[in-house]
Structure 1
Amino acid sequence: MYYSTTYSSPVGTITLACDGNNLVGLWIEGQKYHGNTIFENIIDNVDLPILVTAKRWLNRYFAGKKPDISELPLAPAGSKFRQEVWNI
């Protein structure tokens, strides 16, 4: 099961997706492959702790601070090829 919410940013609307515990995707509205790495239905849920944490992280980022990416539990969803590229 996957969940999502949106975030209004200076670069446009960002969709955040999670598996309930980890961020699995982030897409900017209008990008070519918006959400295409998630093959299951995504349920809107703005109250999950991981999504709230991610929005707070983005608030700090867009405010010019430098939040550490390690503050976010990441588990990006993608093909085997994409996973290998991300590991590099």
Structure 2
Amino acid sequence: MREVKLTDSKIIEVHALTRGQVKDLRRQGFNLMALTKDQAEEAMDAAFAMVLAPEEIEELNGLAYPVALAVWRAILAETYGAPGEEKNS
């Protein structure tokens, strides 16, 4: 899990998408490794619905867009790993 700071007083934890969730997103037409600009917003919303609680999504929608991008990047990093992170072997 990763923590993402939404505001000075609010931090949320995000977790990786499961394999099944990634497959479900793919069935919806979203290849997370090759999203077009047109697909990005819808893919983010679909992933948020899978990972975040409804009240977290509502709060996120009221914040600046870069905060939503930070949450999105954290979900992707948890799901696929982030460059430079040590992998379990």
TM range (shorter): under 0.3
Q: Which has the higher helix share?
A: 2
**TM-score where L is the length of structure 2:** 0.28
Tell me which of the two structures has the higher relative contact order, counting C-alpha pairs closer than 8 angstroms and 6 or more residues apart: 2
Higher strand share: 1
Q: TM-score, normalised by structure 1?
A: 0.28
